[in-house]
Amino acid sequence: MHLAYPAVLSVLLFCIGVYGVLARRNAILVLMSVELMLNAVNLNLVAFDVWLRDALHSGQALTLFTIAIAAAEIGIGLAIVLMVYRNRGTSDIDRLRDTAEPPDGRPDAPDLTGAEAGPGTTAPATQKAEATA
């Protein structure tokens, strides 16, 4: 068996996973993209294990550990996404920025540092620029 075939397939899977992590906004699709990247690594581990004819089959053993870690990661990740969806009503990653504490540490203080500032309010950088003008 040529090593190039599984290696090229693994690179394609990993690139699709990276694109999914960087381009998607839905948390579930991001988790699926991370799983694609882990499966690309698993494919490489098994392909190199077969190609090197390792007597201990260490590539396959590492693949089993990776599968176990991926199963735990997806279980915890989906539980977190479901709880966020129940509390917020969305699983959009861009809208989950509201979960951070405000800069001064008070939970009831409005956060005026970003684009989410309400009408009639300006961000502190804009206020500083207007004060100097």
- ∠ CA 71-74-78 to the nearest 5 degrees? 145
Here the tokens at position 114 are 């970003």
Can you give the pTM of this predicted structure? 0.69
Helices and strands per DSSP (H, E), number in the chain = 4, 0
- The three-state secondary structure class of 12 is helix
The span from the CA of 123 to the CA of 111, in Å, is: 9
Instruction: Give the pLDDT of the chain (133 residues) as one tens digit per residue.
Output: 699 999 999 999 999 999 999 999 899 999 999 999 999 999 999 999 999 998 889 999 999 999 999 999 999 999 999 998 898 888 888 877 766 655 665 655 555 555 555 555 555 555 555 555 5
Phi-psi map region of 92: left, alpha, beta (phi>0 left; psi -120 to 50 alpha): beta
Residues contacting 124, CB < 8 A, separation 6+: 112, 113
Q: How far is CA 13 from the centre of its chain?
A: 16
